[in-house]
Amino acid sequence: ASLSDRALPLCLLTVEAEIAGEAEEEWNRWYDDGHLPQVTACPGFVQSARYLSEADGARHYLALYEIMGPEALRTPQFGVASPWGRFEAQVQARAFVHRRVASRERSDPSVL
């Protein structure tokens, strides 16, 4: 299906994280096997993906969550979805909610 054939999520939740080296393996196992599936199963969440950047000798993680709106972050399910408190001392993270900007109709199909 093309992008125009499906309802696009209204928001994108991004989570950037740097993890202390000694906790990285456990963090990745917990994130992939517990946190990511639990959060993505919450009402209002569409899909998610994780990325790793290795620049300047540092490793930076980025998780992207497509959500139907900011209310997805206020559901009881999201509030209890595999919290990461046990990693608090080893993780520096920032989260942002980005609202989709309405785009005008484009007549040129080569323009995204």
Question: Could you report the per-residue pLDDT of 68-88, keeping only the tens digit for each?
Answer: 999 999 999 998 887 888 898
Q: pLDDT value at position 103?
A: 60
Sheet of 45-55: strands edge to edge? 45-55, 58-67, 11-19, 91-99
Whether residue 4 has pLDDT greater than 90? no
| Spatial CA neighbour of 109 closest among 1, 9, 2 | 2
Whether 28 contacts 88, CB under 8 Å: no
| Spatial CA neighbour of 65 closest among 80, 79, 44 | 44
Q: What is the model's pTM?
A: 0.79
